[in-house]
Structure 1
């Protein structure tokens, strides 16, 4: 099988798990460029990874050896950088969220569709073994008909995190805890049980942070089958705890805490899939293993080979961003 040629655009913290994954997948992928407009980031990256670097984004994008591009820049630049990739006929894997606003996210997905390329989004929690097993159990009816679902993301970020330029602002991040941190778990939850309606939401910034956007969200939801659902997400829960998804079914109960899944059935059976490592729930924002990133990138490469869309397609990510917007609208804006 011919190796897929890739380029990385954006060498901030998000590039770390991706670059480690690309090294692991070197039998299937050739990384031709790692690019950033910031010389200091290029220099720091050169000390960690062996890939050829440049500050010329267009040189990386236009290289004929490059089949696809990993766009790991801040959300405010995703549309512009991706459109340059589409114009060059490149496949794109873009970091979450799609873009700053729902309108720009919709424009990005439409541009990818018009270009006819493979387009994926980095929402890697779907690829954890526990997540995959829970999806299988739900699809197979193993825990019966879903009666209720709960999503909790009790994370922590210190004020120093939000003191960095642009953090927690609409101009750079597009939103607060829901779009920037909890979107991973929200996307997984939505993909597992569906969300048909936001009944009510409380959106606010706690006294623990000075920031433009929200650090606390709670919402009442209707799931895909009409059952009740609840959501709570925050970056004000010191020192940060693993996110959890819980599902009540007519035949059993599923609990996914971090990456660890526990299935308990009414007939007395139990199944546990243990996860290793942290989930980035505390001050160490990159404190998690890169296994799920590796699986997501492998799926993206297979999608290019198979001429299909990846498991986390633009349309799937757009559905999750629409849900984020609906919850925030239900909260009537950020309250202090």
Structure 2
């Protein structure tokens, strides 16, 4: 039986607790930790848990009966907590984004390697059928070389969203919609296409004058093979329509799932290739479905690794770092107005959290700070899709 602690009781912690509840024969939540014990007590009651409640992370690190820790705290705490738990001999599953800087990511990876423990970064959308199948289809070469990718990470958040005490600052949240919302889609993109050579970007704060960070960014990625990609990250899009589209040599495929293939007429104009579309549809339909979806799928993956005494998880620290490096490059490009070459080096000003805080634009100063909302239900737009 794997003993689990959940640290942090914000909205996302419930996804972890629900996921762990799917595997009562494999794991048991023995501890919930939060600086506000009453919030931990409310979760304990809601999920009918037989567990301890503690207020300090050190109380989790000091325990010998905990095997795995889910970190569900604000981004600026991820590195410190992960390193503390890894050094105390525990496996770690840390929420997105992995950390506030590449420097912190490197320290986390080093701590995991030294402790010989799992460091997994939440990328729950990889564990959804449309994404997993799309990845396998691209890897199989069914549509040929990808020529262009289009990522639309469209969310909507009201003005008061950034009133929460840790949101809306470079110091504590680490960034705006690019880091904290589009991270899911950017993770999908780099998983499927790899890392680009260069990044160009712009960003703005168009509707949230109570936040230092951006609420809209647009990036263009260039790859060594000539392919291009574009990423729109937003919390100002009503309806929250989201998609990842790959235009390849033979066909267009996407999540949400759609396929369209063209043939060239004698004059170069297109006609629909229904035969190829049917072949791709058949291949897509034959691909295996994930046994568990979202956070439940990722926690199953981590539990399996713990049970098998392996460090092999789908989203490890290196994968989490890749995603953050791409996001950091977007911030660097948007802040300087210059084309950014990857990989980023340790002497880059945006390599550290302090460097980002000093060099990223502060669109507005944070005006309000509340410890929590009376109701913190997570709602999604009517056109929100299952890829996020």
TM-score where L is the length of structure 1: 0.88
Q: Is the 8 A contact 2:41 2:53 kept in 1?
A: no
Which residue matches 2:144?
Answer: 144
Q: Is the 8 A contact 2:198 2:222 kept in 1?
A: yes
Shift of 1:209: 4.2
CA displacement, residues 121-147 of structure 1 (integer Å, 9 cap, x when unaligned): 011111110000000100001111111
Q: 2:331 aligns with which of 328, 331, 335?
A: 328
Which residue matches 1:301?
Answer: 303
Shift of 1:335: 7.4
Q: Is the 8 A contact 2:31 2:54 kept in 1?
A: no
- Divergent runs of 4+, >2 A: 56-65, 207-210, 223-226, 263-267, 269-274, 333-336
CA displacement, residues 228-262 of structure 1 (integer Å, 9 cap, x when unaligned): 11111111112x41321000111211121xxx322
Distance of 1:180 and 1:311 partners within structure 2 = 20
Which residue matches 1:277?
Answer: none
Which residue matches 2:9?
Answer: 11
Bigger fraction of residues in strand: 1
SS in structure 1 at match of 2:314: coil
SS in structure 2 at match of 1:248: strand
Pairs within 5 Å for 1:213-228: 213-223=213-223, 225-228=225-228
Distance of 2:311 and 2:41 partners within structure 1 = 36
Distance of 2:177 and 2:183 partners within structure 1 = 8
Which residue matches 1:255?
Answer: 254
Shift of 1:300: 0.8
How many residue pairs get aligned? The number is 315
SS in structure 2 at match of 1:100: coil
SS in structure 2 at match of 1:25: coil
Pairs within 5 Å for 1:1-336: 3-51=1-49, 52-56=51-55, 57-223=57-223, 225-238=225-238, 240-256=239-255, 260-266=256-262, 267-268=273-274, 269-270=277-278, 271=281, 291-306=293-308, 307-332=310-335, 333-334=360-361, 336=363
CA displacement, residues 71-98 of structure 1 (integer Å, 9 cap, x when unaligned): 1111111122222212221111111111
CA displacement, residues 57-82 of structure 1 (integer Å, 9 cap, x when unaligned): 33333333321111111111112222
SS in structure 2 at match of 1:202: strand
Report the CA distance shift for 1:68/1:211 in structure 2 as closer, same or farther (over 3 A): same
Q: Is the 8 A contact 2:87 2:111 kept in 1?
A: no
Report the CA distance shift for 1:313/1:170 in structure 2 as closer, same or farther (over 3 A): same
Report the CA distance shift for 1:232/1:9 in structure 2 as closer, same or farther (over 3 A): same
Report the CA distance shift for 1:11/1:335 in structure 2 as closer, same or farther (over 3 A): closer
SS in structure 1 at match of 2:4: strand
Q: Is the 8 A contact 2:201 2:331 kept in 1?
A: yes
TM-score where L is the length of structure 2: 0.77
Which residue matches 1:285?
Answer: none
What RMSD, in angstroms, separates the aligned Cα atoms of the two structures?
2.0
Return 55-64 or 16-25, whichever deviates more.
Answer: 55-64
SS in structure 2 at match of 1:318: helix
Shift of 1:292: 0.5
Q: Is the 8 A contact 1:203 1:335 kept in 2?
A: no
Distance of 2:208 and 2:160 partners within structure 1 = 12
- Which is higher, the Rg of structure 1 or of structure 2? 2
Distance of 2:325 and 2:176 partners within structure 1 = 15
CA displacement, residues 9-31 of structure 1 (integer Å, 9 cap, x when unaligned): 11111111111111112122122
Shift of 1:298: 0.5
